[in-house]
Amino acid sequence: MSPAALVGLGLTEMSPRPGGDATELAVAALGAALDDAGLARADVDGLVVGSSQGVRPDRVGVALARQAGLGDLRLLEHVEIKGATTLAMVDRAVRAVGEGSARTVVCVFADAPLRAGGSAGSTYAKSGGTSGVRGLERASGLLGSVPTYALLAARWLHVTGGSAADLCAVAVSARAWAVDNPAAVQRTPLDAEAYFASPVIAEPLRRLDCARPVNGAAAVVVTADPGIGRAPRVVVRGSGAVHPMRRRRAGAESWFGGGRRAVDDALAAAGMVRADLDVLELYDPFSVVTLHLLEEYGFCPAGKVGPLVRDGAIAPGGTLPVNTGGGQLSGFYLQGMTPLVEALVQLRGDGGGRQVPSARTALVGGIGGRLDHHASLVLEAA
């Protein structure tokens, strides 16, 4: 049997304004992915669904199969590993088509945190509950991810000797890529002066260090049948995942370490090394995460990532293209779908002005929680 491949990609508009619920967006993305692959709903025998964390009335679940008009399915699951969910969904689909328990599987993620009269921040601030450690955090005013990742960023800068200039370089690089991405929600060119003029949200993170949530959805079609699909095939060569059990108690590192194995395992399965990769598409909800993952995943020696990003290595024209659609910082925050979508765009040669010349291989990385979950895929253009 041929290796599992991604043969269809569907996107909705990535809207920074309220409008559309998650189910409507998911149905639209699923239909677009099938159209891209030249398939009908009757061709689908598997559906794997992911949704944003937190219990919401409009959270997408397995009922999407009926809502989207699909027929009898051999595989129907809802996966939840926070920001690592998308890559876990694809891995589940790859395993299903590889073992023959399904033939054509659609993986869908949708989110609609922006609502009239509210903000994405208020929506995400409610995640995590009100009991245990999260309850203590909420009682202390630590609401949502921004202040949490501000603590992580402060720790990172202290441990590595880095500076705000490193965070700035990541944000400026992401925006340079987003300028040529028609799906990006922030495309105005950005320089250091504008970065440092942006307000501080939670020290040391500025507004431009934080991802921009959107209402949107994305879907991909996975199959191992070489006769299915009309779009350029992108083969899944390897996958890996690891879940460090962080206790966050005195005497232990609360944030870093343990994630590299996800990349090592994916590369080993693909029979590749880091030098074989043409682009890196990493989960970047905050600028500091890009800095950390480049070191954590072995793409930069310890203590050297600051000079690397300040010298433009990850920017357009650089030696290590990273988040070539603007990532989540300037592209759109659709959790783990953001890096996967851009990897497919690059490997299908659809990047337009941001296309990395001769891009054939990509690493896609996803993280969940507070660097608690790591997942990765190695993809190759067929």
Six token digits for residue 267: 């590369």
What is the predicted pLDDT for the residue at 153?
97
Q: Is residue 23 assigned to a domain?
A: yes
pLDDT band for position 235 (cuts 50, 70, 90): very high
pLDDT digits (tens, 9 = 90+) for 36-79: 999 999 999 999 999 886 556 678 999 999 999 999 999 999 99
CA separation, residue 299 to residues 4, 295, 329, 376 (Å): 27, 6, 20, 14
Determine the Cα–Cα distance for residues 60 and 145; give it in Å rounded to an integer: 22
Determine the Cα–Cα distance for residues 22 and 89; give it in Å rounded to an integer: 18
Q: Is residue 246 assigned to a domain?
A: no
CATH number at residue 20: 3.40.47.10
Q: Is residue 103 assigned to a domain?
A: yes
Domain count, the chain: 1
pTM over 0.85, yes/no: yes
pLDDT digits (tens, 9 = 90+) for 196-233: 999 999 999 999 999 989 999 999 999 999 999 998 99
Q: Is residue 261 assigned to a domain?
A: no
User: What is the rounded average pLDDT of the residues 97-104?
Assistant: 98
Six token digits for residue 342: 């851009």
Q: Is residue 46 assigned to a domain?
A: yes
User: What is the rounded average pLDDT of the residues 235-256?
Assistant: 85
Determine the Cα–Cα distance for residues 318 and 335; give it in Å rounded to an integer: 25
pLDDT digits (tens, 9 = 90+) for 339-378: 999 999 999 999 999 999 999 999 999 999 889 999 999 9
Domain with 79, as residue range(s), is 5-116+214-223
Q: Is residue 155 assigned to a domain?
A: no
Q: Is residue 44 assigned to a domain?
A: yes
Six token digits for residue 155: 């720790």
